[in-house]
């Protein structure tokens, strides 16, 4: 039990589908993050939310759309993805933006 729960664990979607990834934390953390992890690449930070406000967007294509309705929940809405978007998507939270991260177990996404 990591304290950060991600659903679904696995997702296969076609390029024309729309799906959403969900992340939930009840650790009382103020910051939440989406990371992309591909084979042979370092962890790529996608989005950062601090106190429900998006504070960082690292040049992520608009086909990825984050949403943070409250401090405990974070979503990543996906539409018209490309096969190269297939990866492990990790959610994380931290008490402050420089505090150690608590990661979920990720969603393994395959785009066909």
Partner 1 sequence: TQLLEQSPQFLSIQEGENLTVYCNSSSVFSSLQWYRQEPGEGPVLLVTVVTGGEVKKLKRLTFQFGDARKDSSLHITAAQPGDTGLYLCAGVYSSASKIIFGSGTRLSIRP
Q: Footprint of partner 1 on this chain (CB under 8 A)?
A: 2, 4, 41-43, 50, 90, 92, 96-98, 100-106
Q: Is residue 85 helix, strand or coil?
A: helix
Q: How far apart (Å, rounded) are the C-alpha atoms in residues 3 and 14?
A: 31
* Minimum distance, C-beta of residue 107 to partner 1, in the bound complex (Å): 10
| Cβ nearer to partner 1, comparing 66 with 106 | 106
* Minimum distance, C-beta of residue 57 to partner 1, in the bound complex (Å): 14
| Cβ nearer to partner 1, comparing 64 with 103 | 103
Q: How far apart (Å, rounded) are the C-alpha atoms in residues 88 and 39?
A: 9
* Minimum distance, C-beta of residue 79 to partner 1, in the bound complex (Å): 25
Q: How far apart (Å, rounded) are the C-alpha atoms in residues 19 and 1?
A: 25
**Strand bridging mode 107-111 / 10-13:** parallel
| Cβ nearer to partner 1, comparing 15 with 27 | 27
């Amino acid at each position: 039990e990591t304290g950060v729960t991600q659903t679904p664990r696995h997702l296969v979607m076609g390029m024309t589908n729309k799906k959403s990834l969900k992340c939930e934390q009840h650790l009382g953390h103020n910051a939440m993050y989406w990371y992309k992890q591909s084979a042979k690449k370092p962890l790529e930070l996608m989005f950062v939310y601090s106190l429900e406000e998006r504070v960082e967007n690292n040049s992520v294509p608009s086909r990825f759309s984050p949403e943070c309705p409250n401090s405990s929940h974070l979503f990543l809405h996906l539409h018209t993805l490309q096969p190269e978007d297939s990866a492990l998507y990790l959610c994380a939270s931290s008490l402050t933006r420089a505090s150690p991260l608590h990661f979920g177990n990720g969603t393994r996404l395959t785009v066909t």
